[in-house]
Every structure is written in C-alpha cells, then in structure tokens.
Amino acid sequence: MGMDNKVVVVVGADTAVGSAVAREFERENARVSLVPLQPDGAAPAGAGNGRHVIPLRGRDWDEPARVMKEIRDRHGRIDVTVFTPRPFAPKSFLALSEEEWEENEYAVVRLGLRFIQETARHREAGGEQRIILVLPAHTLMAFQGSSAQSSTCAALETIARVAAVDLGPHNIKVNCVVYGWTHAQRHMMYEIPPEKAHLVRDGIPLGRCADPSEIAGVVKFLAGPQASYVTGATVRADGGYLITRSAGQAFPEL
C-alpha cells in the first residue's frame, strides 16, 4: 500500500499535527481531503495533488456522514482516515463547566467515533482501509488539569482498539499515535513562559520537543505497506516523555 494516488482524509487538518500529516501524505502523491474542525479552520499551506477542503458545517450526528460521502463521491473511495482532535487547554476539574465537559466529549469521542464509522461504511469488498487516530499524551497519562481531555482521549483510544477487533474481518486496520510535546503545541494549548521551557524539556528523554513532521512520519508508517499486520496498536511518538512521570510539567497555575 504505497501512498501514490491513495485517498487520504485528514480530519483535524487545522491543527498543527493534522497539517503536518496532510503535508506528509501530499509529498507521497496521495489524494488528500482536508477536514478542518473549526468552521473557520484554515487549511494548511502548501499545494497538493487534488487537494480538497471540506469543513464541518455543524455538530449533528450525521454531519461526518455528509463529509465522508462527499469525499467518497469525489474520489471514488476512501483508503486512509487520520483523525486528530483539537487540543484543549488544561483546566481545574473543580472549575470545569458542564458545557466545557460536553465540548470535550463532542470534539474528541463523538467526532472520532463518527469518522471511524463513516470510514468503515465506505469500505469496498476485498479492499483495505487504515484508520489512524493521533492523540495527545493525556490519553495515556493523567495530568493536573487534564480530567476532561484525558477522559475523552482515553475513551477514543479504547474505541480504536475495539474498532480494530470489530473491523479486522473487513481488513480495516485501526491504530493510534500518541504524541508528547511538539514545537507547535505552545501556540495552541499550553502557553509556557520561556523561563519554564526547560521544565518541559527536562521531562523528555530526547531533550527536545518534536517537530510535527516527526509525528506525521509515524502516521505515514501506520498507513503504509510496512504496517500491514499492525492493528489495535498505540504507538508513542513522544521522545520518551511518557516513560516516567518525572518532571516535564510546566503547566500554568490551575
């Protein structure tokens, strides 16, 4: 399964990681459809082979069905779906509102599930599909202030593993990539004062944050021919951040 001419859907293309994933597949001459999560989500820069941007118009249960049908109608099939949820800033559990909790649940669990379902709906007899969820470190380890995001990301990671079981007989492989700190993250998630940046770096065995392209490379591996027997896996691309809990936390006061 080389990427040449493969139809790849990147949901969350307006996140730093999603944008990097889209660029990676475009370099491989895939036909990439970009689904920004925000109504005004900007598509990442760069020209591609048959680039196609289709934003979510609303929050209805059936909205992902509309999006995926439009992509299937345009390209004739769907080979790979990559889903990465938009990140949320940390917030004290005691201060979380009901609306914030529900927004996390929608943006991570519900959208992730729906895009898994709608990818599988467009499978072809005798064909193969890959579904890759790209999730933040909170998925596997709780942090202070991460109750909503850890809960929802863990839920989605479990959906991926069950989907690998349920969809394996259809030759649909479902995997997750869990990333740690990326250079881009500080602009969208945790505003880390420069004087505290070392606290993050000190908690990463490799001693540096990732470039989003380094996450995208793992996603490409899971979408490619060398991962043909990989399903239900969760691959950490975190520079070793999740090995231990030591240091690596520079969150603002909650």
Partner 1 sequence: MRLVGKTALITGAARRRGIGRGVALALAKEGADILINDVDAMDEAEELREIIRQLGRKAEIFRADVSVRSEVNDMFRFLERTFGGIDILVNNAGVASWENVTDITEETYRRIMGVNVKGAFNCCQEAARLMIRQGRGGRIVIISSVHAQMPFGGMAAYGASKAALRELANALALELAPHGINVNHIGPGWVDSDINRNSPDLQTEEDRRRTMGMIPCARPADPENDLGRGVVYLVTGDGDYVTGTYLRIDGGFVTGKFYDSAYRGV
Give the residues lining the site for partner 1 (CB under 8 A): 61, 92-94, 96, 98, 101-102, 105, 109-110, 113, 116-117, 120-121, 138-139, 141-147, 150-159, 161-163, 165-167, 254
Q: Six-digit token pair at 149?
A: 């995001």
Min dist. Cβ of residue 122 to partner 1 (A)? 11
CA distance from start to end of the chain = 46
Alpha-carbon span 137 to 181, nearest angstrom: 8
Min dist. Cβ of residue 102 to partner 1 (A)? 7
Q: Is 168 helix (H, G, I), strand (E, B) or coil?
A: helix
Min dist. Cβ of residue 60 to partner 1 (A)? 9
Which residue number, 77 or 110, has a Cβ lying nearer to partner 1?
A: 110
Which residue number, 142 or 197, has a Cβ lying nearer to partner 1?
A: 142
Min dist. Cβ of residue 36 to partner 1 (A)? 23
Min dist. Cβ of residue 132 to partner 1 (A)? 16
Alpha-carbon span 19 to 14, nearest angstrom: 6
Min dist. Cβ of residue 174 to partner 1 (A)? 9
CB 56 within 8 A of CB 39: yes
Sequence-distant (6+) residues with CB within 8 A of 219 are 21, 24, 82, 132, 134, 177
Helical segments of the chain, H only: 16-27, 63-75, 98-104, 111-121, 147-167, 185-188, 197-202, 212-223
Which residue number, 53 or 155, has a Cβ lying nearer to partner 1?
A: 155
Which residue number, 4 or 93, has a Cβ lying nearer to partner 1?
A: 93
Which residue number, 62 or 191, has a Cβ lying nearer to partner 1?
A: 62
Which residue number, 145 or 248, has a Cβ lying nearer to partner 1?
A: 145
DSSP 92: -
Which residue number, 18 or 145, has a Cβ lying nearer to partner 1?
A: 145
Q: Six-digit token pair at 93?
A: 């559990």
Alpha-carbon span 30 to 20, nearest angstrom: 14
Min dist. Cβ of residue 217 to partner 1 (A)? 27
CB 81 within 8 A of CB 224: no
